[in-house]
Amino acid sequence: MKLQRLVSGIASSLSAAALLTFAPASAMAADYVMSASADFTGPFADVAPSTVSGIRAVAAWWNDTKGKELGTNVDIKVHDMRYDASVVASTWPSILATDKPIMHLGFGTPDLITLMKRLPGDKVPMLMSTAMVGLVWKPNGWHFSFRPTYSHEFVGLLNHLQEKKGGKLTIGAISTQTAAGFVDQVKGVQKFAETNPDRFTVLDVQWVDASPVSVVNEVRTLVRQQPDVILVGGTTAQVVATGKALRELGANIPIIMSTHNGLTEVAKGIDLKEIEGSYSAFAFAPDNQEALPVRDLYTKYHTGAGNWGIAAAQSSYQALLALRVLEQAIAKGGKDAVTGQAMYDAMLGADYSEASLMGSLPDIKFDTTAPFPVGKLKVKAQVVRDGKIATLGNDWLPVPDLPKW
C-alpha cells in the first residue's frame, strides 16, 4: 500500500515536474489564485506541513462560507522555495506566468530580498507571515507583513516587563553577526533603549555562532552584569545553548525569543523547566489562547499533513488577512476586477479590525510608509509556567514608538 502511494507520489510528482518543465501554462479552475512559498525540502522543512496546512484550512473555510456567498473561490498554489533566494528568483517568473496570482503569501527573508524589488513591476503584492526586519523598512513597497519588525515585537514585551518591574529594565543580548537580520533585531532594541534611557539599558551584546555548541563563556559575561532578561532572537540552537549555560551557571534569568526560535521549537532541544519564566513575543494571538475561533475552523477544515501550533496559527492568520483583503477588493471593484493592483489598493485603502480577523490579529492598517502595520502596534507573548507553554494573559500588549534605526 505504502509502495503504491510512493509510486503514485513519484508519478504525480514527475508528471507535475514534466508539466512544469514542458508545458507553459494551464487553465485555472479557481476564480483567483494566491501563490504561497513553502520550504518543504530546505532548513525549515519540519514546520512546512503545518505552515501550509494553516493557509489551506483557512482558504477551504473561506471558499465554503464567504466564497460561496460571493460566488467565487480561491485556489492556493504552494511552491517549494527551499528557503533559497536563487530558487525564489528561478521560480517566481513561472509563478507569474502559470498561476497569475492576485497575491503572494511569502515566507522568510529569501522571498523578501528576492521579490521586494520585482513586486511593484509585476503588480503582485506579497503578504508575509514572518516578522519584518529593519533592512526592508522602506516606503512604497509591495511587500507587507501583518507583523512589525522583530525589534518591535521584542520592545512590546520589554515595555510590559519594565512596567511590571518598575525602575530600569536591564537587557543582555546574544546574537550572531553572520546574519544581517539577526544583527538588525539587536540594533532595533538598542535604538529603543537609547531613546528611553531612563527605562531601559542594553548592558551588552555577545556575538556567537549561529549554531553554537556552548555559550557558557558569553552567558557568564552577561550574567556578571546582572541583566533582567536575555534577548536571543537568532536561532533555536542559540536559545537552547543559552538555557543550558544559564543552568550550568546556576543563574535564573528569563530568555526572550521570537517565533522561529520560540518555545515550541526550543522545547524539542531542552526541558522547558530549565528555562522557566522565559518568553516568546510576537504580534498575533498565541496558538494556545483560550478562545480562538481560527483554531476551531482549522480543526474543522484541516486535512492532510501538519498540526495546529504556532506555525499553523501564524500562516492561518496570514491567509485570513489575505482573504479579508480580497473581500475588500471585490467590494470595491467587483468580482471581475480583482487583480494584483486591486489587492494592493484594497490592502492600503481599508482598515482591518481585530473583530474581522477573529481576534487573531490586532487592528491592522497599512500605508505606503512601511511594509508592516502602522498606528498602534500590539503584541502578545507566551511564557513558560511550571514547565509548560502558557499565554501571557489574554490582552494585547501595546508597542511603544520605535524610531527607525
CA separation for the pair 333, 34 (Å, rounded): 18
CA separation for the pair 354, 324 (Å, rounded): 12
- Which one of 11-19, 57-65, 192-200, 359-367 is the stretch in contact with another protein (CB under 8 A)? 11-19
Residue 119's nearest CA partner among 139, 95, 142 is 142
Per the CB < 8 A criterion, the answer to whether 322 and 127 are in contact is yes
CA separation for the pair 308, 298 (Å, rounded): 8
Q: Give the nearest distance from C-beta 397 to another protein in angstroms.
A: 26
Q: Give the nearest distance from C-beta 205 to another protein in angstroms.
A: 13
Q: Does 148 bind another protein (CB under 8 A)?
A: no
CB atoms under 10 Å from CB of 376, counted, come to 12
CB atoms under 10 Å from CB of 64, counted, come to 14
Per the CB < 8 A criterion, the answer to whether 386 and 377 are in contact is no
- Which one of 17-25, 162-170, 243-251, 317-325 is the stretch in contact with another protein (CB under 8 A)? 17-25
- Which one of 13-21, 65-73, 225-233, 363-371 is the stretch in contact with another protein (CB under 8 A)? 13-21
Binding mask 336-355 for another protein (x = CB under 8 A): --------------------
Member of 28, 69, 97, 375 binding another protein (CB under 8 A): 97
Q: Which of residues 170-189 bind another protein (CB under 8 A)?
A: 177-181, 183-184, 187
Q: Does 267 bind another protein (CB under 8 A)?
A: no
C-beta closer to another protein: residue 350 or 402: 402
Q: Give the nearest distance from C-beta 87 to another protein in angstroms.
A: 8
Q: Give the nearest distance from C-beta 361 to another protein in angstroms.
A: 27
Q: Does 101 bind another protein (CB under 8 A)?
A: no
Q: Give the nearest distance from C-beta 150 to another protein in angstroms.
A: 12
C-beta closer to another protein: residue 179 or 251: 179
- Grid cell in block for residue 309: 501550533
Member of 125, 134, 233, 262 binding another protein (CB under 8 A): 134
Residue 95's nearest CA partner among 70, 109, 78 is 78
- Give the three-class secondary structure for 3: helix
Q: Give the nearest distance from C-beta 83 to another protein in angstroms.
A: 10
Binding mask 26-45 for another protein (x = CB under 8 A): -------------xxxxxxx
Q: Give the nearest distance from C-beta 102 to another protein in angstroms.
A: 19
Q: Does 10 bind another protein (CB under 8 A)?
A: yes
Q: Does 218 bind another protein (CB under 8 A)?
A: no
Q: Give the nearest distance from C-beta 34 to another protein in angstroms.
A: 19
- Give the three-class secondary structure for 74: strand
Q: Angle formed by the axes of helices 180-195 and 150-165, to 10°?
A: 40
- Give the three-class secondary structure for 380: strand
- Which one of 86-94, 225-233, 369-377, 389-397 is the stretch in contact with another protein (CB under 8 A)? 86-94
Q: Give the nearest distance from C-beta 7 to another protein in angstroms.
A: 8
Per the CB < 8 A criterion, the answer to whether 102 and 124 are in contact is yes
Q: Does 195 bind another protein (CB under 8 A)?
A: no
Q: Give the nearest distance from C-beta 181 to another protein in angstroms.
A: 8
Member of 28, 65, 86, 337 binding another protein (CB under 8 A): 86
Member of 26, 304, 386, 403 binding another protein (CB under 8 A): 304
Residue 236's nearest CA partner among 18, 44, 68 is 44
Q: Does 130 bind another protein (CB under 8 A)?
A: no
CA separation for the pair 79, 257 (Å, rounded): 28
* Cα end-to-end span (Å), the chain: 57
Instruction: Give 137-161 as a DSSP string.
Output: --TT-SEEESS-BHHHHHHHHHHHH
325-360 CB burial, b ≥16 within 10 A, e <16: bbbbbbeeeeeeebbbbbbbbbbeebebeeebbbbb
Return the bridge partners of 9, or none: none
CA separation for the pair 310, 306 (Å, rounded): 11
Binding site for another protein (CB under 8 A): 2, 5-6, 8-10, 12-14, 17, 20-24, 39-49, 80, 82, 85-86, 89-91, 93-94, 97-98, 109, 113-114, 116-118, 121, 133-136, 177-181, 183-184, 187, 304-305
